[in-house]
Structure 1
Amino acid sequence: MDVVVTGGSSPLGRVLVPSLQAAGHQVRQMSRRGAGPGGVRADLATGRDLAAAVRGAEVVVHAASDPRGNPWEVDVAGTRRLVQALDRDRLQHLVYVSIVGVDRVPWNYYRAKYAAEQVLLASGLPVSLVRVTQFHHFIDGMMATARRGPVLIVPMGWSAAPVDVAEAAGFLTEVAAWPAASDVVEFGGPEDLAAADIARAWAAAREPNTRVVATPLPGKLSAAFREGGVLPGPRAARGRRTYAEHLGVRH
């Protein structure tokens, strides 16, 4: 298949592109810079070069996102621009990379991702919405950011199901070859872990002199996390590589 990957230069995109290529697809790696072999330049925030970048695509894996900037411009308006740019007569499948919990967690970024899902469901295109849990490297970054000297403070009662980014890429490669689901498909890590346990494992492996402190966090956002808002449901597909294995912990 002729496949375009948006967000091709992201951590997910960098493993997703070779995964799709290994499955026999011709892959265009779309990003704002368009760098590297097979790279094509296009900007979802402005629509610049978008039509040329996706011309002739049979499958699009839409992984582009802007969590630190303006997700309403990139994730929502950019998805609308992408829908308008695609060749409906040629496109067979659009796979959208979303996040487990976008329909439950009241966070601006998650609301934008959920809105982008609705844009795609209303588009009339053959779509699958793949909600994925947090990648191992994202959890690492969160732990490093939360650490203050010898103390790592985490919210009490929060849980997550960290997932290996390469396994997520492999699952997305499989989904791309399926018929469009026109619905949500979930993919998560093999274990549901308490935030405090994640923090202790990270600290033991990366910063062994760090003390983990779990503290209550008020508000609707925290309540959603305590209620398992970012945990995959019972029908979700699961990866196999644990967070402890990612950290290099031996049992």
Structure 2
Amino acid sequence: MANPILVTGGTGTLGGHVLPLLREAGRTVRVLSRNPRESSDRGVEYVGCDLLGGEGIDAALDGVETVLHLAGGPKGDDVATRNLVDAASRAGVKHLVYISVIGADTVPLGYFQAKLGAERAIAESGIPWTTLRAAQFHDLLLTMAEKMAKMPVIPVPGGIRFQPVDSREVAARLVELTLGEPAGLVADLAGPKVYGMGDVNRTYLQARGKHRLMMPVRVPGKAGRAYRAGDNLSLNNPVVGTRTWEDFLVEKVEKVEKVA
């Protein structure tokens, strides 16, 4: 039997799509979790670990040759990844796959800089590696639009654009890369269309049958200039998904209406 694949962040949105795909491919999976749980699938094991604190990583990597690193947060990704890389080196891991974000090397915000730090830790580890940079997920844009729709007037940052991609398409690509040979930094994965922030809010409001005033605002500083320059986009030969933001919205709104 093949060694288990260790998946960090396996309980998140992306992990929820990745795990069944790995199981369909016949692989056993070990999932890092701060709160271990029992699994109804004998091919999936949840183990306790704190990547940021460095606790439990060595035990989780016992017998593992491939790691799919999905775990991430608003800050600390570089620190958590360095802890994982150090333990993976000790364990003799043969392939480390990482999901990063388009703009990691161009957008001057802490989240992107931490992602770049994580990329560098992996690339300099001596472990054969693969890194995929993806655009923001539809799920993130939905969360943003839902929060903004609660305001009586929605601020719309001028010049900020997104190229959102479906998380299921990212999961499928990651599983393909995980089961393949180490490939270094591969082509970006982005969605099929580019949207301004106003477009995102407007289409969400229309889908939910809501109306709000929208007010243009300007994002100052280096971050504003980077977004206006499209540094968070991948327009030159990325791998492009097929599901649009509109497709995703139709599905989500239908689910909400059925529950209601």
TM-score > 0.5, shorter chain as reference: yes
Decide which of 57, 60, 80 is 2:67's aligned counterpart: 60
Alpha-carbon shift at residue 246 of structure 1 (Å): 0.6
Q: Which residue of 2 aligns with 1:185?
A: 187
Question: What CA distance in whole angstroms lies between the structure 1 residues aligned with 2:37 and 2:129?
Answer: 27
Question: What CA distance in whole angstroms lies between the structure 1 residues aligned with 2:233 and 2:163?
Answer: 6
Q: Which residue of 2 aligns with 1:77?
A: 79
Q: How many residues align?
A: 245
Q: TM-score, normalised by structure 2?
A: 0.88
The answer (yes or no) to whether the contact 1:7–1:13 under 8 Å persists in 2 is yes
Question: What CA distance in whole angstroms lies between the structure 2 residues aligned with 1:212 and 1:23?
Answer: 47
Question: What CA distance in whole angstroms lies between the structure 2 residues aligned with 1:48 and 1:105?
Answer: 31
The answer (yes or no) to whether the contact 1:186–1:233 under 8 Å persists in 2 is no
2:54 pairs with 1:47: yes
Q: Which residue of 1 aligns with 2:119?
A: 117
Q: Which residue of 2 aligns with 1:101?
A: 103
Change (3 A) 1:232 1:88: farther
SS across alignment from 1:64: coil
SS across alignment from 2:189: strand
SS across alignment from 2:214: strand
Q: Which residue of 2 aligns with 1:206?
A: 208
Q: TM-score, normalised by structure 1?
A: 0.91
Alpha-carbon shift at residue 89 of structure 1 (Å): 7.2
Alpha-carbon shift at residue 12 of structure 1 (Å): 1.1
Q: Which residue of 1 aligns with 2:16?
A: 14
Question: What CA distance in whole angstroms lies between the structure 1 residues aligned with 2:187 and 2:70?
Answer: 15
Q: Which residue of 2 aligns with 1:131?
A: 133
Task: Give the AA of the match of 1:41.
Answer: G
Alpha-carbon shift at residue 215 of structure 1 (Å): 2.4
The answer (yes or no) to whether the contact 1:57–1:87 under 8 Å persists in 2 is no
Q: Which moved more, 1:97-106 or 1:87-96?
A: 87-96
The answer (yes or no) to whether the contact 2:149–2:205 under 8 Å persists in 1 is no
Task: Give the AA of the match of 2:221.
Answer: G
Question: What CA distance in whole angstroms lies between the structure 2 residues aligned with 1:178 and 1:233?
Answer: 26
Question: What CA distance in whole angstroms lies between the structure 2 residues aligned with 1:230 and 1:25?
Answer: 34
Q: CA offsets, 1:99-139, max 9 Å, x none?
A: 11111111011111101111111101111111111111110
Alpha-carbon shift at residue 159 of structure 1 (Å): 0.8
Change (3 A) 1:135 1:42: same
2:150 pairs with 1:143: no
Question: What CA distance in whole angstroms lies between the structure 1 residues aligned with 2:149 and 2:135?
Answer: 22
Q: Which moved more, 1:146-155 or 1:187-196?
A: 146-155
Structure 2: gaps (5+ residues) = 40-44, 254-260
Task: Give the AA of the match of 1:124.
Answer: G
Question: What CA distance in whole angstroms lies between the structure 1 residues aligned with 2:37 and 2:10?
Answer: 9
The answer (yes or no) to whether the contact 1:129–1:182 under 8 Å persists in 2 is yes
SS across alignment from 1:228: coil
Q: Which residue of 2 aligns with 1:24?
A: 26
Question: What CA distance in whole angstroms lies between the structure 1 residues aligned with 2:19 and 2:134?
Answer: 17
Question: What CA distance in whole angstroms lies between the structure 2 residues aligned with 1:235 and 1:58?
Answer: 31
Q: CA offsets, 1:163-212, max 9 Å, x none?
A: 11111111101111222122243111111122211121111113521233
Alpha-carbon shift at residue 148 of structure 1 (Å): 5.0
Q: Which residue of 2 aligns with 1:247?
A: 249
The answer (yes or no) to whether the contact 1:103–1:111 under 8 Å persists in 2 is yes
Q: CA offsets, 1:80-113, max 9 Å, x none?
A: 2211212667533211111111111110111111
Alpha-carbon shift at residue 147 of structure 1 (Å): 3.7
Question: What CA distance in whole angstroms lies between the structure 2 residues aligned with 1:197 and 1:205?
Answer: 12
SS across alignment from 1:139: helix
Change (3 A) 1:207 1:34: farther
